[in-house]
Amino acid sequence: MDRFTVAGVLPDIEEYFQIGDSSSGLLQTVFICSYMVLAPVFGYLGDRYNRKWIMSSGIFFWSAITLLSSFVPQQCFWALLFTRALVGIGEASYSTIAPTVIADLFVGDFRSRMLSIFYFAIPVGSGLGYIVGSKVTDFTDDWHWALRVTPGLGLVAVLLLVFVVPEPPRGALERRSERALVHTSWLTDVKELSTNYSFLLSSLGFTSVAFVTGTLALWAPAYLFRAQVVQGTMRPCTKSTCNSLDSLLFGIITCITGFLGVGAGVEISKRYRKVNPRADPLVCACGLLGSAPFLYFAVVTAEASSIASYVCIFMGELLLSLNWAIVADILLYVVVPTRRSTAEAFQIMMSHLLGDASSPYLIGVISDKIRHSRPDSYLAEFRSLEYALLICCFVGALGGGAFLATAVFIEQDRSKAEHYTQALTEADEPILVPKAGRSVKLPVASVLI
């Protein structure tokens, strides 16, 4: 919710600081970059130390910095960028570790359902960010107050984590023995993850999801507002006339499509899995490939009809939302419990480095380049952003291809992870490992994926 509150008041921020599209894109990019860079650090900590206290500390820091960012003076846009970067530290601590706690509390189809509830928070929280940002700004006539809502919610989250959420043993529900799983070195974890094709390819597919959603999150309300100006139904944005309706509508669409899409994705995958063990990556592939044409028509129809554009955005976001919980579930069953936080961290780093860390700024830069090559007009502003946004359609199609490739390896990698999770914990006796035509006895702790 916090990061999209900024997107919901982006026109007000641009006017307040007198900045262009490329600088606006940096607000999202600096946040995602710090989030991405620190995710491996929290992944390492989350695989080895108390996860509940790491998450609680991170959310408290996140909330405090968000509150401080609302007091940045007009002449210090660099300070707003700096505080948005610090916010990424708190989110990295939570997003990297929370799915692994869910994985250790639930198994099988019940885990998938619990993950779907957790991942409702991404699209639904995103939509609420736009709604809260636009409505609080309308009520107070000051965009700064939009950034003062989420810190209170963060404090509630910290209290719930400390007093309600347990710290489950890692992998306890997936093994027959009470023995603790054996930890390996961080370099070994990274090496083994680099040979896990299901993990790598599904992470590439999720990177496409992050690229598209990151772009839409920042630019869709601004683009739809510009389309209405070109249509003549809205005046160019000034402090007294800037309309928050597009942020509100986009937020509502994001909430609804997130709620429907995440739940539908899990249920479709669960039922399809009964007849096809490769159901998870195939459902993800269909979601991305199906969203691409809807996003294309959402962009090209905006000038002629805002209603048609909103309908296409609804369908595109609905199909994109099928992926959220399924991708998390794929990671959890193709990676052993002692490497899951590290795997989550690297998936976060990959998806944000090539996805929503770069996409808002990239779209802004391309938009500015196209606009500067044309005579200055509001139509040129609209058209330049229109051409830049079309990139999302091609990225979505590439992501669908990555999920199709994941389907080739998914059965093998899942079986391998399940076998070694049991092998590492079921007995103290040495395990027979095939080697060069003969069996070699190795201690349990030396058997690695």
pLDDT at 312: 94
More confident residue, 28 or 55: 55
* Helical pair 340-351 and 323-334, crossing angle rounded to 10 deg: 140
Using CA atoms, how far apart are residues 29 and 151, in angstroms rounded to an integer? 21
How does residue 433 score in pLDDT terms, banded at 50, 70 and 90? Answer: very low
Average pLDDT for residues 105-116, to the nearest whole number?
Answer: 74
Residue 55 near residue 89, CB atoms below 8 Å: no
Domains of the chain and CATH, by start: 2-446 (1.20.1250.20)
Residue 54 has pLDDT above 60, yes or no: yes
Report the percentage of the chain scoring pLDDT > 70: 83
Using CA atoms, how far apart are residues 371 and 161, in angstroms rounded to an integer? 48
Using CA atoms, how far apart are residues 366 and 314, in angstroms rounded to an integer? 25
pLDDT at 201: 95
Residue 259 near residue 16, CB atoms below 8 Å: no
Using CA atoms, how far apart are residues 215 and 32, in angstroms rounded to an integer? 12
pLDDT at 412: 92
Residue 285 has pLDDT above 80, yes or no: yes
What are the structure tokens assigned to 385, written together? Answer: 């952003």
Phi first, then psi: what are they for 20, rounded to 5°?
A: -100, -175
How does residue 341 score in pLDDT terms, banded at 50, 70 and 90? Answer: confident
pLDDT at 155: 87
CA dihedral 174, 187, 429, 108 (to 10 degrees): 10
pLDDT at 158: 86
Residue 199 near residue 281, CB atoms below 8 Å: no
Greatest pairwise CA separation for the chain in angstroms: 80
Using CA atoms, how far apart are residues 44 and 26, in angstroms rounded to an integer? 28
CB atoms under 10 Å from CB of 187, counted, come to 8
Q: Is the pTM higher than 0.75?
A: no
Using CA atoms, how far apart are residues 347 and 208, in angstroms rounded to an integer? 12
- Tens of pLDDT, residues 191-203: 888 899 999 999 9
CB proximity list for 290: less than 8 A, separation 6 or greater: 319
Which segment, 73-77, 305-309, 428-432, is predicted with the most confidence on average?
A: 305-309
- Tens of pLDDT, residues 133-179: 777 877 777 777 878 888 888 888 888 888 887 777 766 555 544 45
Burial (CB < 10 A; 0-12, 13-18, 19+), residue 1, is: buried
Q: Mean pLDDT for the chain? A: 79
Residue identified by tokens 């991708």 is: 327
How does residue 22 score in pLDDT terms, banded at 50, 70 and 90? Answer: low
CB proximity list for 297: less than 8 A, separation 6 or greater: 308, 309, 312
pLDDT at 299: 92
Q: How far is CA 49 from CA 44, 46, 161, 167, 420, in A?
A: 9, 6, 16, 10, 22
How does residue 132 score in pLDDT terms, banded at 50, 70 and 90? Answer: confident
- Tens of pLDDT, residues 369-386: 888 877 777 788 888 989
- Tens of pLDDT, residues 382-409: 889 899 999 999 999 999 999 999 999 9
Using CA atoms, how far apart are residues 200 and 179, in angstroms rounded to an integer? 30
pLDDT at 177: 46
Phi first, then psi: what are they for 153, rounded to 5°?
A: -65, -35
Residue 47 near residue 339, CB atoms below 8 Å: yes
How does residue 100 score in pLDDT terms, banded at 50, 70 and 90? Answer: confident
For the chain, how are helix, strand and coil distributed in percent, rounded to 5? 75, 0, 20
Q: How far is CA 30 from CA 84, 211, 337, 426, in A?
A: 7, 15, 31, 46
* Number of alpha carbons in the 13 Å side-chain half-sphere of residue 113: 7
